[in-house]
Amino acid sequence: MKRLPAPVLTLIIFVTLAAAAPWLVGDGGVGLLFEVLLMLAMAQLWNLLAGYTGLVSMGLQCFVGLGGYTTIFAANSLSISPYWVLPLAPLVCGLVAAVSAIFLFRLRDAYFSISTWVFSEVAAMLVFITPGFGHVTGMTLETAREIDYETFLLVNFWIAAGLAAGIIVGIYGLLHSSLGLGMLSVRDNEIAAASIGVDVWRNRFIAYVAAAAGCGLAGGISFMAALFVNVTTGFDLNWVVAMIFIVIIGGIGTLEGPIIGTIIYYGIRELLTNVFALSGSWYLIALGAVAVTTMLVAPRGIWPFVRDQFGIEWLSISRKLPATAGDGSPNPKASISTHQPSRTRRA
């Protein structure tokens, strides 16, 4: 019997566990996993931008906040269940990202990173001063009264699980397509990519709009579940800080990295705040220490370090050359690596 490929096996295990989660971990566990899965989805999207297209955004929290506001505002205005208006969140965020990209893409590297952060601050302030969005107090989901809270939590959890799985499968599929190959080539060498006919701007545009829409949906789900959104929580810089942390610790430019990073991020949090009952700042200090250590010991992140040490593969996206005749095993040296290469320092 032929063994299932690791990615398919992973997906089957994930779906099974997610379906059984309410009976396995109880209500508290579901609440935690809901948060974990949404963060995993967002970290994967940040990784799609930074790890695969070279766009280091510090402003994705903008779309988390916009997604939350869109969902709650639309549900309140139409007096309907938030589930019906959830698709509006990625739509609005994708649109905002598409328009802003026209301007932001004029800027390079550090200029782009800073400007996305400034863009988020501007968006937050505009939401803050526009009448009808609740100013300081924020907005509460008014249809919340009609909701049976227990099923609401469960359904939200499954939506979050679906989003996380969908985004990972989507990125995996994307990176196996010619569009994804184009993205990788842009990241590795923009000029060389452009010279062989890769449309650099278009590749980045698609990735940026997709990441914004995904973060918008995650934000919509997150604040729908919270039944409340305001500017401070919605447009919080800590959203993108957490994404960066997770991707960097786990391994940028790999699909496995954000998964490992998310486990470490929440593992440390739960261990220090719940098991050892330390204050929130100690867990952040521990996370900072993990980041510093990772950068000094394994600067490409934990997953690439483990992968290279033990030669294991999981959700690898590298393409193997077909085995040559008479040689049963594919030569590992002959594989075209699409892992992130060590980049050369800019002169």
Partner 1 sequence: MVWIGTIINGVLLGGLYGLFGVGLALVFGVTRIVNIMHGEFIALSAFIALAISALFPSAHPLFLILPVVVISFALGYALQAVFVNRSMRLPDPMAPLLLTFGLSVIVRNLMIEGFGVNPRSIHQGDFGQLSIDVFGVQIGVLPLVTLALAVVLFIALQLVLRRTEIGRIVRATADNSEVVRLMGVRPSSVYNIVMGLSFALAGVAGLMLALRTTFTPFSGVERLLISFEVVVMGGLGSFWGAMLGGIALGVAQLVGLRLNPNSGFLYANLVFFAFVMLRPNGLFGARQ
| Contact set with partner 1 (CB under 8 A) | 56, 103, 106-108, 110-111, 113-115, 117-119, 121-122, 125-126, 128-129, 237, 241, 244, 248, 252, 279, 281-282, 284-285, 287-292, 294-296, 299-300, 342-346
CB 48 within 8 A of CB 210: yes
Residue 71 or 338 with smaller CB distance to partner 1: 338
Q: How far apart are CA 347 and CA 337, in angstroms?
A: 25
The tokens for 166 are: 């969908």
Residue 78 or 110 with smaller CB distance to partner 1: 110
CA dihedral angle for residue 76, residue 81, residue 86, residue 91, rounded to 10 degrees: -50
CB 185 within 8 A of CB 199: no
- For residue 346, the minimal CB distance to partner 1 (Å) is 6
- For residue 297, the minimal CB distance to partner 1 (Å) is 10
φ, ψ (nearest 5 deg) of residue 140: -105, 140
Residue 106 or 176 with smaller CB distance to partner 1: 106
CB 16 within 8 A of CB 23: no
CB 250 within 8 A of CB 301: yes
Residue 71 or 115 with smaller CB distance to partner 1: 115
Residue 114 or 271 with smaller CB distance to partner 1: 114
The tokens for 116 are: 């996305």
- For residue 129, the minimal CB distance to partner 1 (Å) is 5
- For residue 326, the minimal CB distance to partner 1 (Å) is 38
- For residue 285, the minimal CB distance to partner 1 (Å) is 5
- For residue 184, the minimal CB distance to partner 1 (Å) is 16
Residue 56 or 154 with smaller CB distance to partner 1: 56
- For residue 238, the minimal CB distance to partner 1 (Å) is 10
Q: Which residues contact 119 (CB under 8 A, 6 or more apart)?
A: 59, 62, 100, 104
Residue 142 or 188 with smaller CB distance to partner 1: 188
Instruction: Provide the 10 A C-beta neighbour count for residue 205.
Output: 18
User: Exposed/middle/buried for 291, CB within 10 Å: 0-12, 13-18, 19+?
Assistant: middle
